[in-house]
Amino acid sequence: MQRELARFVAGKSVMAPNVVFGGAWFDEQACRDQFVQARSLTGFDRDALGRCIAKLGLTFDDARNRFSDLGLVHYPPGIELEVRFADGLLSHLGFVARPNIADVTPTITQAALEALRIDPTPSPPGDAWFRICIDERGATTSVTLRAASKIESLPDAFATARAWKHRPFVLDDHPLAVCSLVHAGDARETVPMVLPEEANAIGVSTEAFAKRMTIGDPHLAPDDADKAKISGTIRGEFLICTRANGSVATVTMRSSTGFPDYDSKISRVVTTWQYAPILVDDDAFPACGVVVFVYTQ
């Protein structure tokens, strides 16, 4: 990802035939007028977006980029965008952590939001990521949990994030409603994974997600027919998303074990698993986590 980001900010990235555009802020009026709505871009529109993006003066921060499948870039006066690549080609560019494809609320860096904070309270112990949105007056309109690794610290993290107060974010002499992906805590070791938009869930670290399993077997073995073909160790990753009550809603294969029948067995059996609900102030949250299956023969 770091190599792709470096090429992108240097203007050397090649765009995929179809690029998903999820919003950006442009100084140039012609670019603003052309790219108002989120949409898929091809041909002339895709090339025009490339020309507009090249004028932004993008950069990226290694400390904010620990994702496996997307990167964060920013430009003055603190606007932050997320980018994704497929087979080395730019496939997605837009505002960060949008709750749905139509949302084009501008996003700013955590540093830009912190600069607006009034009487900042210290971050609580733990490790959680929030999407915090403020309106044109600086009032907090939403605090949405995006990811966590220390579930037990979530009530304190939520309370702290909700208590933060901010001045308005001003752009071109006009106050603007914005959102920001913000880390609350002291660990700074995990980042939100990229989740399916339809999941409407929080990302939970692999370790924390495993601890919440109440019914299931993470050591699920392949059937005998596949065992006979395996020599050495095989490994597969699956993204499991649960409902608010902890039952499994979806199973998505992120990397195959190399044995289709074993992959199918995992996808089928995992739907019967159960996880402890994630509760904060009596509110239950849908969640997603990566489960790694390793089998050695």
SS3 53: helix
Q: Per the structure block, which two tokens stand in for 244?
A: 């608010």
Name the pairing type of β-strands 278-280 and 283-285: antiparallel
Domains in the chain (CATH in brackets) are 2-95 (3.10.450), 107-185 (3.30.2420), 197-296 (3.30.2420.10)
Q: Can you give the pLDDT at residue 67?
A: 54
The pLDDT assigned to 129 comes to 82
DSSP string, 169-220: EEETTEEE-EEEEEEEES-----PPP--GGG--EEE-HHHHHHTEEE--TTP
Is the pTM higher than 0.85? The answer reads no
pLDDT at 69: 64
CA distance 48 to 9: 17
CB 153 within 8 A of CB 140: no
Residue 177: other Cβ atoms inside 10 A: 16
The number of residues making up the chain comes to 297
pLDDT of residue 183: 80
Residue with tokens 């699956």: 238
Mean pLDDT in each 10-residue stretch from start to end of the chain (297 residues)?
Answer: 72 84 93 92 93 90 62 92 86 85 87 87 70 93 84 81 90 93 66 59 86 93 92 93 94 93 96 92 87 92
